[in-house]
Amino acid sequence: MTGLRVLDLTIAMAGPLCTQRLAEMGADVIKIEAPGGGDFARHAPMAGVTRFGDATCFVTLNRNKRSLVLDLKSEDGRDILNRMVLGADVLVQNYRPHVAKKLGIDYATLSALNPRLVYGSITGYGDEGPMKDRPGQDLLLQCFTGLTFNGGTLDGLPAASPLYMVDVTASHMVCEGVLAGLVARGVSGRGQEVKVSMMGAIMEMQCQEVTSFLAADAPPARGTQPQVSIYQEPPYGLYKCAEGYFAIAQADLDVLARALDLPALSTLKASRPSQGDVAALTTWRDEIVATVAAKLIHATATEWDSLLAPLGIWCMVANDYAAFLAHPQAREMLIELEHPKGGTYTTVAPGIRFPAVSPKKMTSAPAYGAHSRQILRMEGFTDAQIDQLVLRGTIVALDA
């Protein structure tokens, strides 16, 4: 994507992760931040962790970008953005519905200036409907869309993912859409709008479960034994061991019965209730989970892994970050970067690689307004004009 320019008007995670991926592929990404602090991810530390004056969340999601602080609520600011749009290939924003139109930076307005612009937008729940103005936050969307009742126990709390998986999936989807828009532009010569909602992203993640729910006369239910997913056949789940925890994914109950010396599992396999008998099926699932749990508690997770993995049973020791990041398999997925304020930090390396292309040099996330002057000079502004914009508060420049 070398030679393509991306205007990044995003905050938080879903938008910045998308544009970071475009930057890692070679695009020139200009992160346009608002006066008064910019992307709130700079000031929203995860577990209270900050580095180089910013939250690690921001540092992680904004590498290989340049920062321009620009007041889009001012006429001067909108004029500058419009000037930049003329030479841009892509713009990505994740404002709430109708905010972009209110600011005059919606697709209809900007595509009239540059018909070749590929315009990506991310919303929480889409542009219409009673939820459209509710905050599009990951945990809230997990709860709204039913996901949190797919695991846990009948009387326990709904089971939410601790990760921002909705943001990540939405970021991937809008990135794919932008890339498809660029390919289509190469054929037609015209850009287009790419619209992704976080609700759409989590619905896609649950496509198997939702379809199965709609097709079932009697959908599965949570039982008394903790389960990772009620839509997976037991013994799918996590188990406590004499030391550590152990995960079993797909496992034929007959194979597992022989491996664990638990003939009861074969008996249970043969006595599976009908799909329509929810109560009996829930009891059946609970009995399998309880039987396996009672056996696994007598040895360590590592010992069970050594026994079961060679038999073709899909299983894994449950690592914490310390154990995982010390494993040799993790090393190639980490990268050390230098920050412009001095010092280095280790983070996750780009997940997409192109073996035939020399990897792009990775740079750290930009300091707030670090490139405002540089970017405006490239747009043809003189130093005197830039100084006036700083005085009027239209832009913020790090060296001002």
- Residue 10: both structure tokens together: 């995003």
Is residue 230 a part of any domain in this protein? Answer: no
Angle at alpha carbon of residue 106, lines to 104 and 111, rounded to 5°: 105
State yes or no: pLDDT of 400 exceeds 70.
no
Measured distance CA(144)–CA(60) in Å, rounded: 28
77 and 169 share a domain? yes
Q: Among 297, 318, 339, give the residue marking a domain's end.
A: 318
Backbone φ, ψ for residue 90 (5° rounding): -140, 145
For the ranges 77-81, 90-94, 201-205, 396-400, the lowest mean pLDDT is seen at: 396-400
End-to-end CA distance of the chain: 32
Q: Which residue has the tokens 């490139």?
A: 371
What digits encode the pLDDT tens for the residues 112-166? Answer: 999 999 999 999 999 999 999 999 999 999 999 999 999 999 999 999 999 999 9
126 and 55 share a domain? yes
State yes or no: pLDDT of 242 exceeds 80.
yes
54 and 175 share a domain? yes
Binned at pLDDT 50, 70 and 90, residue 358 comes out as: confident
CATH code of the domain containing 198: 3.40.50.10540
The answer for residues whose C-beta is within 8 angstroms of residue 217's C-beta and 6 or more apart is: 275, 276
Is residue 59 a part of any domain in this protein? Answer: yes
Per-residue DSSP letter, 305:
H
154 and 303 share a domain? no
What digits encode the pLDDT tens for the residues 246-290? Answer: 999 989 999 999 999 999 999 999 999 999 999 999 999 999 999
Is residue 33 a part of any domain in this protein? Answer: yes
Structural domain for 273, as ranges:
237-318
Angle at alpha carbon of residue 133, lines to 130 and 139, rounded to 5°: 95
**Cβ burial, residue 333 (10 Å; 0-12/13-18/19+):** exposed
Binned at pLDDT 50, 70 and 90, residue 398 comes out as: confident
What is this structure's pTM? Answer: 0.94
Is residue 227 a part of any domain in this protein? Answer: no
- Residue 68: both structure tokens together: 């321009």
62 and 196 share a domain? yes
43 and 112 share a domain? yes
Measured distance CA(76)–CA(82) in Å, rounded: 10
Q: Among 296, 318, 340, give the residue marking a domain's end.
A: 318
Binned at pLDDT 50, 70 and 90, residue 80 comes out as: very high
Instruction: With residue 120 as reference, give the H or E element that holds it.
Output: strand 118-123
Binned at pLDDT 50, 70 and 90, residue 36 comes out as: very high
Measured distance CA(11)–CA(207) in Å, rounded: 27
Is residue 229 a part of any domain in this protein? Answer: no
Residues above pLDDT 90, as percent of the chain: 95
Amino acid 265 reads L
- Residue 318: both structure tokens together: 């449950």
User: What pLDDT is attached to residue 227?
Assistant: 93
**Cβ burial, residue 59 (10 Å; 0-12/13-18/19+):** buried
State yes or no: pLDDT of 387 exceeds 70.
yes
State yes or no: pLDDT of 25 exceeds 90.
yes
Sign of CA dihedral 81, 85, 89, 90: positive
Number of domains in the chain: 2
12 and 106 share a domain? yes
Backbone φ, ψ for residue 220 (5° rounding): -65, 160
Is residue 232 a part of any domain in this protein? Answer: no
Is residue 387 a part of any domain in this protein? Answer: yes
Q: Among 318, 349, 380, give the residue marking a domain's end.
A: 318
107 and 48 share a domain? yes
Q: What is the mean pLDDT of the chain?
A: 96
**Cβ burial, residue 48 (10 Å; 0-12/13-18/19+):** exposed
Per-residue DSSP letter, 356:
T
176 and 153 share a domain? yes
Per-residue DSSP letter, 353:
-
Q: Which residue has the tokens 């061991």?
A: 241
The mean pLDDT of 371-378, rounded to a whole number, is 97
Angle at alpha carbon of residue 310, lines to 306 and 315, rounded to 5°: 70
State yes or no: pLDDT of 340 exceeds 90.
no
